[in-house]
Structure 1
Amino acid sequence: MGAGGSLQGAQWASTARPGSARGSPASCGSARGLTALAPSWPVGSPPVSRCRPVSKARPHLPDGSSRCLPQAFPTRMGCQEAVVLCAYLEMGSIDLRDRSVIELGAGTGLLGIVATLLGARVTITDREAALEFLESNVQANLPSELHPRAVVKELTWGKDLGNFPPGAFDFVLGADIIYLEETFGELLQTLEHLCSEQTVILLSCRIRYERDNKFLKMLKGHFSVYEVHYDSSKDIHIYKAQRHSHKDDF
């Protein structure tokens, strides 16, 4: 999730549901039923998002209420990382209420939308080609009173950093953004810019190839990195990273 492409959509529903052998809920309440158009990409262009749709969800809001959204969200294999991370956030060990969050390589924006539903102030980012698609998803899947808490903004890793104050975010979220080796340097540069000593990075990914381990090794050169969750049913890992000088728990 998080490269370039064009945005022509087609609807494609799915019933995939997150789960985990390590205590995650059987389904992600906030993410369980959001809907979006799934983009189709011209031949040869890298996708802004590799997701395809999900079902009807009843998100749990910070005040304890729930709301059924009329739209549903793409999910296929490439979006399962976002669904698993959404479920992890909903387990409640991390309090996102009134925290400043940025999502990188957002694609459909599912993760950022769920973080907003959980009370965060969220900046949802991707390359310019994805922004119209992202904005439409935010408008369709958030209650109107939460729209001001979710801002869609362009961020090409390593290139638009002057538009983001350094170290201004409490959490940096990324799902399935570790897959293009040529972007690893720019992604690491972006993480270093966005993070203060207190910032928590949460990355959800599969370890498919040696290049994925290569990025984790690069990350460990600048941050303390720990695996905090593993969904064995989907073979998806969630890693927490913080600057070396800050080793406290959440």
Structure 2
Amino acid sequence: MEPKVKKHRCTNSAGERFSHTASREQPWLCCLGRSSTEISTAVPGLGTQRLRERSQAVVLCAYLEMEGIDLRDRSVIELGAGTGLLGIVVTLLGARVTITDRAAALELLESNVQANLPPELHPRAVVKELTWGKDLDNFSPGAFDLILGADIVYLEETFAELLQTLEHLCSERTVILLSCRIRYERDLKFLRMLRERFSVSEVHYDSSKDVHIYKAQRGSRKDDL
């Protein structure tokens, strides 16, 4: 079952949940839609620090929340999670999330997820290793309702493996949302490669951050989120 747009604004938003936990003097902070979005992160030897998050992730987080997209109990996977902000926000919006990155990033990513989610939501966010094109046997084909990626389109040598991974993870019902900047010929090349395999449309553009959000689905499907 695909995520659907709700007719009303959720009153228990991700931003409100972060604000609620922050008011209890816990290390959780997220200011969606603002220029200073940060995430608490545990840096070895330095304790808990605030890291400024990638604007592509911020824009995608804001899009998911402000559009009122209903993610409750949806199965979501994030690719190339980095600090984990996107996966954390999606968990707060009610999804069951698999947050992935390469092995070297997992320890910090796991720490961030633990630090930025209330304990009762920890079981809904699973951190897992995924090197594009190499760890696919560990993931059931087509098992996810939604695939998310922010700032993952920048190394041309990874394009083939990224596309292979997207194809493996997708079913006919799966929606892909990619948040990225389009600045170089290689970025346009990736979009051409993506369109050879999926039906692709641009669903949002943030001119203040020069960030595009693209939706992709198998075949000619153009279902709304």
Runs of 4+ with deviation above 4 angstroms: none
Count of matched residue pairs? 194
Matches within 5 A, 1:143-182: 143-182=118-157
- How far the C-alpha of 1:37 sits from its partner, in A, is 4.5
Cross-structure match for 1:116: 91
CA distance in 2, matches of 1:145, 1:237: 33
Mark the runs of 5 or more structure 1 residues left unpaired by the alignment. 1-15, 19-25, 40-70
Kept in 2: contact 1:167–1:194 (CA 8 A): yes
* Structure with more strand by fraction: 2
Q: Specify whether residues 94 and 73 from structure 1 end up closer, same or farther in structure 2 by C-alpha distance, changes over 3 A only.
A: farther
- How far the C-alpha of 1:33 sits from its partner, in A, is 4.8
CA distance in 1, matches of 2:128, 2:223: 30
Give TM-score, length-normalised by structure 2.
0.81
Matched, 1:74 2:51: yes
Cross-structure match for 1:35: 40
CA distance in 1, matches of 2:211, 2:112: 25
Cross-structure match for 2:14: none
Matched, 1:222 2:197: yes
CA distance in 2, matches of 1:72, 1:207: 31
Q: Please, which of 88, 96, 103 is the counterpart of residue 128 of structure 1?
A: 103
CA distance in 1, matches of 2:84, 2:211: 19
Kept in 2: contact 1:27–1:87 (CA 8 A): no
AA partner of residue 179 (structure 1):
Y
AA partner of residue 145 (structure 1):
E
Matched, 1:233 2:208: yes
- How far the C-alpha of 1:36 sits from its partner, in A, is 1.6
Q: Specify whether residues 92 and 38 from structure 1 end up closer, same or farther in structure 2 by C-alpha distance, changes over 3 A only.
A: farther
Matched, 1:186 2:161: yes
Give TM-score, length-normalised by structure 1.
0.73
Secondary structure of the residue that 2:69 maps to in structure 1?
Answer: coil
Cross-structure match for 1:139: 114
Q: Specify whether residues 246 and 204 from structure 1 end up closer, same or farther in structure 2 by C-alpha distance, changes over 3 A only.
A: same
Mark the runs of 5 or more structure 2 residues left unpaired by the alignment. 1-29
Secondary structure of the residue that 2:217 maps to in structure 1?
Answer: strand
Kept in 2: contact 1:104–1:174 (CA 8 A): yes
CA distance in 2, matches of 1:192, 1:73: 35
- How far the C-alpha of 1:208 sits from its partner, in A, is 1.7
AA partner of residue 35 (structure 1):
S
Give the aligned CA root-mean-square deviation in angstroms: 2.2
Secondary structure of the residue that 1:36 maps to in structure 2?
Answer: strand
CA distance in 2, matches of 1:150, 1:216: 29
- How far the C-alpha of 1:34 sits from its partner, in A, is 3.0
Cross-structure match for 1:65: none
Query: What are the superposed Cα offsets for residues 129-159 of structure 1, whole Å, 9 maximum, x if unpaired?
Result: 0111110001100000000000000000000
Q: Specify whether residues 38 and 106 from structure 1 end up closer, same or farther in structure 2 by C-alpha distance, changes over 3 A only.
A: farther
CA distance in 1, matches of 2:49, 2:69: 25
